[in-house]
Amino acid sequence: MRDLRCVAPDGALLAHLHRHPDGTLTLVPEQGPPLTIRQPSPGAPILVHRADELLGTVTPEDPTFTTRTFTARLGSTAWTVTANAFATRYRVTTPDDALVATATHPVLSSTLTLTTSEPPTLLLAALTATRAHRPAPTAYTPS
């Protein structure tokens, strides 16, 4: 599986994201210890650990055809992460809808560019956790 480079708009490397064969992700920041991101079972909240410490969860909401939304509670932060259907564009907002960060991951690129004024590591964990998500094993249910 291909790794993903996470960079700032000026090209500075922020982190590497490594995908393991079991779907677990390891986020290796340029500064600080690595984080492990995994979903214990399809549809369940995604867990973010630093070593053995659980930092928080990223919970999938019901997706639409065009948008996937997740609620991230990491440390003292609560964010809403929205990704388009192809995971090429992301937005992170606070509960009162203030924009915290955006990110782009162009088609077929191995680079994700994060734009934010906040410390990036937890934001990247929240964003990239969406890539560990496996949908719940359910049949079609009319809405």
Partner 1 sequence: MGPTSAPHGTPCLRIGGAVRAPRALAMAELRALPQHACDVVFSCRRAGARHHRFAGPLLLDVVGEADPVFAGGDRKARLRFLLSLRADDGHRAVLSWGEIDPEFGAVPVLVALSRDGRPLDVEGPTLAVPGDRCGARSLTALRELTLRPDA
In the structure encoding, which two tokens stand for residue 46, read together?
A: 């995604």
Figure out which of the listed residues 31, 41, 95, 140 binds partner 1, where binding follows CB under 8 A.
140
Torsion of CA 3, 136, 55, 30, to 10 degrees: 10
Report residue 101 as tokens.
Answer: 């960060």
Closer to partner 1 by Cβ: residue 95 or 137 = 137
Q: How far apart are CA 133 and CA 141, in angstroms?
A: 20
Amino acid (one-letter) located at 104: T
Residue 127: CB minimum distance to partner 1, A? 12
Q: How many residues bind partner 1 (CB under 8 A)?
A: 30
Shortest Cβ distance from residue 118 to partner 1 (Å)?
Answer: 24
Question: For residue 126, what is the DSSP state?
Answer: H
- Contact region with partner 1 (CB under 8 A), list: 9-17, 47-55, 61-69, 94-102: 61-69
73 binds partner 1 (CB under 8 A): no
**Given the complex with partner 1, which of 77 and 87 has the nearer CB atom?**
87
Q: Which residues are registered as beta bridge partners of 54?
A: 49
Contact status: 85 vs partner 1 (CB under 8 A): yes
Q: Which of 104, 89, 108 is nearest to 2 (CA)?
A: 108
Residues forming the site for partner 1 (CB under 8 A):
1-2, 19-23, 42, 63, 65, 68, 84-88, 107-108, 130-140, 142
